[in-house]
Structure 1
């Protein structure tokens, strides 16, 4: 099984332990484990995680540099799944439970707990889906992808402001940049949640672009009107990129909360 498929399958194990009426503590650790798996995928690290699992690991990763609450939640989540291991016979369920434990240890031992905490805050604030790079043209993006020693598989990038997914098959060195619907789903989820209320209005797109560029501390997202049409102004702090997207891009997209498509409030699905 390929590592990104393994990460997907591990989510199934978490779902098996999700119960109606479960304690707040159990709900918290299950959500934390779920998000750890998605963090590895959405930041383009499936292959790094695969390599990590093949190496001898330190007994206890250091967590001294991260908030105590985060380190404690890692410890409790590890403990929950380690306890489950005691009752499991060798087989797929045991192996996938180990994947969850290893995902938590991978994030901690590679010094990413602070970034993981930031990722969780982005999800809770319903910020735009994270991107790792931006390019003005497809040619620029393809040159970057071709020269990259280990492309971030499953991560999002922007090409001319539009979402694309980095698809990298390490075994064959296949490298692709399919278009992604993450932004369309994200806009649809915002529209479904509440009616957009514009905070600024402009006659032309050029005026709106100039306003957005002039913001010294731009909001992560803000609704504006351009010639009477609703747009979402987005700021991607990780790459210092600003963009305007018409809400009409969401037309025809329906949010299925059971499937939790990419770009949904908690961003749970794999990029496509």
Structure 2
């Protein structure tokens, strides 16, 4: 397990526990563990998490303070506790050292979220996942210059997270050994749109004559849906809302051309 696969390798353990006939409770526990690992990765906290684990190994005080769950988050705290109990038992019963290590990463992830006061952020991320929303982004910029200035000013930049630049998805890449910082374009949105088109064929919830009219409509919504199909001048768009960065966007479905999902075999 390398630092680059630290948050992905433990998914194998979760997959082995998943079964068609599992109880609803176990499905919730395994799903929460899966999403906890994805949350730390999607929010660009891999280096921060590595440092957290080193502090645990050295016996030093873990960074951050425990968050007292506010109204509406008590249920999440209970789910985290049940998930921790499940994987603690699984670790203690594991046969191999390798499997124990992978399970420990899951347990450390749950502890990391709680001890660094991220209940609210994790709860919002879970809502994002459950809604089937577009790929998670941690920031939005109008221009590449603005994004590069932001990245250059970060004392501890995120790593392997998404940001939006003029509504295009870019990776935040950072190597803290060399301090190289880059923002390459990625195609996560195109793949997402192609898959969404396959799973939720477009049916417009609203129609507009122009892009400007659609933008005004989306801006006027007090709290839009995470995503909805709309029609603009006869073309389908995805109206998306990213509440964690307070960003609203209209993504043309035409972006998915060339990224179509293969139809299921009969």
How far the C-alpha of 1:148 sits from its partner, in A, is 1.1
Cα distance change on mapping 1:119 and 1:167 into 2, 3 Å:
same
How far the C-alpha of 1:201 sits from its partner, in A, is 2.1
Residue 252 (structure 1) aligned with residue 233 (structure 2) = no
Could you tell me which residue of structure 1 aligns to residue 15 of structure 2?
Answer: 15
Cα distance change on mapping 1:139 and 1:84 into 2, 3 Å:
same
Task: State which drifts further: 183-192 or 88-97.
Answer: 88-97
Task: State which drifts further: 187-196 or 36-45.
Answer: 187-196
Question: Higher relative contact order by CA 8 Å / sep ≥ 6: 1 or 2?
Answer: 1
Cα distance change on mapping 1:13 and 1:143 into 2, 3 Å:
same
Residue 154 (structure 1) aligned with residue 160 (structure 2) = yes
- Map 1:66-145 → 2, pairs under 5 A: 66=70, 67-88=73-94, 91-145=97-151
Could you tell me which residue of structure 1 aligns to residue 35 of structure 2?
Answer: 35
1:126-153 residue CA offsets vs partner (Å, 9 max, x unmatched):
1222211111111221121122111111
Q: Residue 4 of structure 1 contacts residue 41 of structure 1 at CA under 8 Å; is this kept in 2?
A: no
Rounded Cα–Cα distance in structure 2 between residues aligned with 1:106 and 1:256: 38
Output the TM-score relative to the length of structure 1: 0.85
Structure 2 residue matching 1:143: 3-state secondary structure: helix
1:152-178 residue CA offsets vs partner (Å, 9 max, x unmatched):
112111111111111111222121112
Rounded Cα–Cα distance in structure 2 between residues aligned with 1:94 and 1:240: 40
Task: State which drifts further: 63-72 or 120-129.
Answer: 63-72
Could you tell me which residue of structure 2 aligns to residue 52 of structure 1?
Answer: 52
Cα distance change on mapping 1:196 and 1:101 into 2, 3 Å:
same
- Map 1:202-221 → 2, pairs under 5 A: 202-221=208-227
How far the C-alpha of 1:13 sits from its partner, in A, is 1.7
Q: Residue 235 of structure 1 contacts residue 242 of structure 1 at CA under 8 Å; is this kept in 2?
A: yes
Structure 2 residue matching 1:79: 3-state secondary structure: helix
Structure 2 residue matching 1:9: 3-state secondary structure: coil
How far the C-alpha of 1:105 sits from its partner, in A, is 0.4
CA RMSD of superposed structures (Å): 2.2
Output the TM-score relative to the length of structure 2: 0.87
Cα distance change on mapping 1:63 and 1:25 into 2, 3 Å:
farther
Could you tell me which residue of structure 2 aligns to residue 65 of structure 1?
Answer: 69
Rounded Cα–Cα distance in structure 2 between residues aligned with 1:149 and 1:32: 31
How far the C-alpha of 1:195 sits from its partner, in A, is 2.4
Rounded Cα–Cα distance in structure 1 between residues aligned with 2:262 and 2:85: 33
Q: Which runs of 5+ in 2 are unaligned?
A: none
Q: Residue 66 of structure 2 contacts residue 116 of structure 2 at CA under 8 Å; is this kept in 1?
A: no
Could you tell me which residue of structure 2 aligns to residue 261 of structure 1?
Answer: none
Could you tell me which residue of structure 2 aligns to residue 229 of structure 1?
Answer: 235
